[in-house]
Amino acid sequence: MPELPEVEAVRLALDPVLTGARITRVELRRADLRTPFPARFRPDLEGQVITGLTRRAKYLLATLGSGDTLVMHLGMSGSFRAETAEEGDRRQPGPHDHVLLHLDSGATVVFNDPRRFGVMDLLNPTALAAHRAIAGLGPEPLSPAFDAAALARACRGKRVALKVALLDQRIVAGVGNIYACEALHVAGLSPVRRASTLASAAGRPREAAERLVRAIKAVLTRAIIRSGRGDYRSDRFRVYDREGRACPRRGCGGVIRRRVQSGRSTFYCPRCQR
């Protein structure tokens, strides 16, 4: 479930539980997720006060009194839940409850991840700054820094398909497979056109870049609002997972198609996305 909007919803839900709390005990119910937990993970986490919870792209970052940062990524199937002390006493950890953070408030925050593509790591400021994936992230799509000029610049000369470029976290950070499809449909742009077509030869943004930036911001903003409300109706998408259905654009009359681009499903309307 987790692209930027879902991760932001998780952050909003966890922030009141985590920020200001002290971690009294850490339970690791296995030795690794996508990567092994570092040896210092548990000892250096226990006793720390969480001073804030922020999000960068699809990463959740909990800052600690020690100066370290607890880096969390949900991968494909990760989720968090917060339990009160009473709930925690009653309930046995489930099969994929891998990490339990017990807090001095009595609450417990549980990380569950069946596929274990998620990540939890503890980094000092130097290691955080040097983190390959995080340091290389492109602009936050909802920030003013992400505009048509920035997108066109990042796509300049890129021969990859536009949809594939949107999934490249160095170009724009936090967009995933669903919202890449959705934004391209809103913008009326074909997922298979070359990313470079967003920029003129001089690298200036074309009108398509303006439309795409507006579409990305609109799609993500709406999704954050919906995620916050816990709105997961199956018809919440315009094209994603809707192969064979009618294109929702008024007057289009096209049919949604599915194709595979670099191993991921793309859903789009061949009629109104050019």
Partner DNA sequence: ATTGAGACCTGTCGGC
Partner DNA sequence: TGCCGACAGGTCTCAA
Instruction: Cite the active site residues.
Output: 2-3, 58, 264
Structure token digits, residue 254: 């096209």
Query: What residues contact residue 43 under an 8 Å CB cut-off, 6+ apart?
Result: none
Residues 63-82 that bind DNA (CB under 7 A): 73, 75-77
Distance CA 216, CA 172 (A): 10
How many helices (H) and strands (E) the chain has is answered by 9, 10
**Nearest by Cα to 166 from 197, 154, 54, 257:** 154
Distance CA 211, CA 198 (A): 10
Q: Which of 25, 29, 81, 116 binds DNA (CB under 7 A)?
A: 116
Shortest separation between residue 66's beta carbon and DNA, angstroms: 23
Q: Which of 38, 54, 104, 115 binds DNA (CB under 7 A)?
A: 115
Q: Which of 20, 106, 114, 270 binds DNA (CB under 7 A)?
A: 114
Contact region for DNA (CB under 7 A) — 20-28, 47-55, 110-118, 144-152?
Answer: 110-118
**Which is closer to DNA, CB of 105 or CB of 265?**
265
Regarding 245 and contact with DNA (CB under 7 A), the answer is: no
Residues 4-63 that bind DNA (CB under 7 A): 6, 34, 57-58
For the chain, strand residue ranges (E) read 23-28, 50-56, 59-64, 69-73, 79-83, 97-103, 108-112, 119-123, 257-261, 264-268
- Residues making contact with DNA (CB under 7 A): 1-3, 6, 34, 57-58, 73, 75-77, 95-96, 114-117, 132-133, 158-161, 164, 167, 169, 176-178, 262-265
